[in-house]
Amino acid sequence: MLTGKVQRRPRGDLIRVLVVDDEADIRELLDLTVARMGLSADCAATVTEARQFLEQQRYQLCLTDMRLPDGDGLEIVRLIAERYGETPVAVITAFGNTQNAVAALKAGAFDYLAKPVALDQLRSLIKSALDLPRVGAAADGAPPASAATRLIGPSAAICQVREMIDKLARSQAPIYISGESGTGKELAARLIHDHSARRTAPFIPVNCGAIPENLMESEFFGYRKGAFTGAESDREGFFQAAQGGTLFLDEVADLPLPMQVKLLRAIQEKRVRKVGNTAEEAVDVRIISATHHRLKDCVEAGTFRQDLYYRVNVIELRMPPLRERSEDIEPLVEALLRRLCGAQPPRLDRQAANALQAYSFPGNVRELENILERATALCNGDTVVLDDLQLAPAMAVRDSLGREGESLDDYINRVEKQAILEALAKTAFNRTAAARLLGVSFRSLRYRIERLGIEE
């Protein structure tokens, strides 16, 4: 058995793991597991001993308990984040103590394990940590290390997003990406995946608002042959398809409450059960979710479970709307025109360029791409003029405030309410048809109508 004193292995080993736990049997279990994977471990029983090791040796991974005699694991997480940024650190928490795990993830931990430690999960965690690309280095088979090649622009807002993506890629924490429609939430999720240790495994995007409610469980968790009429063979669900990789839940706020309960259990237990099966199977996926709703508002309205909210929203990444990053419009236009037209794209005359700078872009980057695609089809020759853009007159020019002195929330609510009322008027208050006209799900429209107090 190992004692609480610092124990060293020969320095010749290249891949080293620091184990920090005050329980000798846990240290021995972790040490043996690491050794059987061909790695070398140093073991410490206190924060002080861990600090000594970190000062003397560089580690490829640190595994630390949360409760230690002279402090807690969060001290080690913060120390490594500040001074040894290339070393991923995972925390070991008491069973059911998710609050500590969430705090560690927010402080910069790579991942967490719950006691009693499951050896298959431990080995998977170690492998994922060792597969992380080095800071500033390109990963094998992955895009360039920086997100700049796909998130374009010099604005402070988008630079902050790129920096955040690089940090989040080195973690296993669940991420919630917020932002309006068209701001690039799925692109951000793909970039996080592409630069993470999971980059060689699948990235599975799921539009939660597009799945019929009666099919959700089988779509997410799969089903066994004969589970229901039409189930002619076994089928995997989204969780199994994303095994080892990332599951991106777009428009997660559109999930009905019964499905939210089942999703919460799958995330907590890291196990799913196919429809028609009695046994559960382990799954190893990272959850990234997104919605254009304000998820906190959904929790307050009772349409989104609070416990699930805290599970998916461990770390939030906000994608800024295009109106907040006007300095990015010109480089975005250049990049989009090259994508649409090749090496010799048309140019915008000054009037057209000025109009785009003044436009409010309610549909953000997606709308900009649509505008340019239409303009290149309409333009004569190699120059795009103002008429080719066909900007909506009411949205073409912003006033000095962009909302006539209203708060941003009031302005957005007013515009949203007006759009819904117009759609309802066109469809004789047929909510299903209005939702289709607005391009949202029926559940989403119903929630908006209730939130905005719209009456027939």
Last residue of a domain, one of 318, 333, 363: 318
- Count of domains in the chain? 4
Q: Is residue 144 part of a domain?
A: no
Predicted pLDDT at 135: 57
Give the number of C-alpha atoms closer than 13 A to the C-alpha of residue 439, restricted to the C-beta side.
6
297 and 214 within one domain = yes
Task: Note whether residue 149 is domain-resident.
Answer: no
The enclosing domain of 333 has a CATH number of: 1.10.8.60
- In this structure, the answer to whether residues 289 and 353 fall within a common structural domain is no
On whether residue 155 sits in a domain, the answer given is no
For residue 132, give both structure tokens. Answer: 């992380």
Same domain, 310 and 329: no
Residue 107: per-residue pLDDT = 84
Task: Give the residue from 437, 415, 444 showing the smallest Cα distance to 207.
Answer: 444
364 assigned to some structural domain: yes
What pLDDT shows up at residue 99? 76
Give strand ranges (E) for 233-343: 246-250, 271-272, 281-282, 286-291, 315-318
Whether 246 maps to a domain, the answer reads yes
First to last CA, the chain: 73
> Nearest-5° angle of CA 166, CA 170, CA 174?
100
> Which residues have CB under 8 Å from 140's CB, separation 6+?
none
Share of the chain above pLDDT 70, in %: 88
The per-residue pLDDT for 264 is: 94
Q: Are residues 311 and 358 in the same domain?
A: no
Domain boundary among 111, 130, 149: 130
What is the CATH number for 55?
3.40.50.2300
pLDDT at 451: 81
Q: Which residue has the tokens 């073409």?
A: 396
CATH of the domain at 412: 1.10.10.60
Could you give the CA distance from residue 193 to residue 195 in angstroms, rounded to a whole number?
5
- In the block, tokens 């070991």 appear at 92
Say whether both 34 and 109 belong to one domain: yes
Residues 289 and 365 in one domain: no
Chunk the chain into consecutive blocks of 10 residues (it has 456) and report each block's average pLDDT, rounded to whole numbers: 42 76 92 92 94 93 93 92 89 76 84 86 88 59 50 92 91 92 94 92 94 92 86 90 95 94 91 91 94 90 93 92 92 92 88 90 91 90 89 53 56 82 82 83 82 77
Look at the block and give the residue holding tokens 């206190």: 46
- The answer to whether 306 touches 136, Cβ cutoff 8 Å, is no
Instruction: Give domain status of residue 136, yes or no.
Output: no
State the pLDDT at residue 95. Answer: 60
- Cβ density class 381-396: b for 16+ within 10 Å, e for less: eeebbbebbebeeeee
Q: Where are the alpha helices (DSSP H) in 274-328?
A: 295-301, 306-312
Q: Is residue 138 part of a domain?
A: no
Residue 170 and residue 310 in one domain: yes
Q: Which residues of 94-129 are buried (b: 16+ CB within 10 A; e: fewer)?
A: eeeebebbbbbbebbbbbbbbbebeeeebebbbebb
Cα dist. 375→152, 337, 344, 355 in Å? Answer: 21, 10, 15, 13
Q: What is the pLDDT of residues 213-233, one digit of tens each?
A: 889 999 999 998 887 888 788
- Is the separation of the CB atoms in 290 and 248 below 8 Å? yes
In a domain, 226, yes or no: yes
User: Do 301 and 338 fall into the same domain?
Assistant: no
Instruction: Looking at the structure, tell me whether residues 109 and 72 fall in a common domain.
Output: yes
Burial class from Cβ neighbours inside 10 Å (0-12, 13-18, 19+) for residue 409 reads exposed
Do 284 and 207 lie in one domain? The reply is yes
Alpha-carbon Rg for the chain, nearest whole angstrom, is 25
Same domain, 370 and 420: no
Are residue 121 and residue 88 in the same domain, yes or no? yes
Domain range holding 343? 322-395
Domain end residue (candidates: 85, 113, 130): 130
